[in-house]
Copies of this chain bind each other. A is one copy, B any other.
Amino acid sequence: MQELIERIRREGRNLGGGILKVDGFINHQVDPALMDACGRELARRFASVGATKILTAEISGIAPALTTAMHMGLPVVYARKHKPITMPDQVFLTLSPSHTKGRMVELIVSPEYLAGGERVLIIDDFLATGATILGLARLAQTAGAVIVGVGTLIEKSFEGGRAALAHLNIPIESLACIVSMDGEQIVFA
């Protein structure tokens, strides 16, 4: 999506080690008009997959998942990383490695909001190694739901996430695909 790519070119920063800083419009400060446009575009790309629910992971998945959900007219569930006291004792839980935190994090969804037979569209901010998205996919599969697609704002194709998700046999869409971040460069596909 040209609007997102231009914004990353203008304001994104390559911090080295594959770390892309987009804190000014996605991860800490959010530009709501841009996020709305991204949600509209993801909704357009997944219009025909028959999704019944959108699934994402807190924290930075919430904004793109919400705007996509608004344009698709679907509920969105965000997996929690800490079980809140309002959640039942019996939950769907999986562990997922966080490469920005350097440790495993929990992804938790209540069975109240992820049921067998749902057709789940997974939305997140980044597709990097695919670890978080694979964690969300395991949660959905454990619930007996069908995964119908994966959509992300930014793909770092050099981290191999698309290959890691290939066995899911579902459409994978990213709005901006970065093929290399050598030196200080940010090279788009």
Q: Which of B28, B70, B80 sits near A28, CB closer than 8 Å?
A: B80
Least CB distance, A83 to chain B, in whole angstroms: 10
Q: A75 contacts which chain B residues (CB < 8 A)?
A: 29-32
Copies in the complex: 2
Q: Beta-carbon contacts of A82-120 to B below 8 Å, as 1s and 0s? A: 101111000000000000110000000110110000000
Known A-B contacts A63-B62, A84-B100; the reply to A70 vs B36 at CB < 8 A is: yes
Residues of B within 8 A of A70 (CB): 32-33, 35-36
* Known A-B contacts A59-B59, A59-B62; A86 and B31 likewise in contact (beta carbons under 8 Å): no
Is A74 part of the contact surface with B, judged by Cβ < 8 Å? yes
**Which residue of B23, B35, B76, B84 is within 8 Å of A112 (Cβ)?**
B23
Contacts A19-B85, A100-B84: A113 and B28 contacting too (C-beta < 8 A)?
Answer: yes
By a beta-carbon cutoff of 8 Å, the part of chain A in contact with chain B is: 15, 19, 21, 23-24, 27-33, 35-36, 58-59, 62-63, 66-67, 69-70, 73-78, 80, 82, 84-87, 100-101, 109-110, 112-113
In the complex, 17 of the A-B residue pairs with CB atoms within 8 angstroms, ordered by the A residue number, are: A15-B86, A19-B86, A23-B110, A27-B86, A28-B84, A29-B75, A29-B76, A29-B77, A29-B112, A30-B69, A32-B66, A32-B76, A33-B70, A36-B70, A59-B62, A59-B78, A62-B62
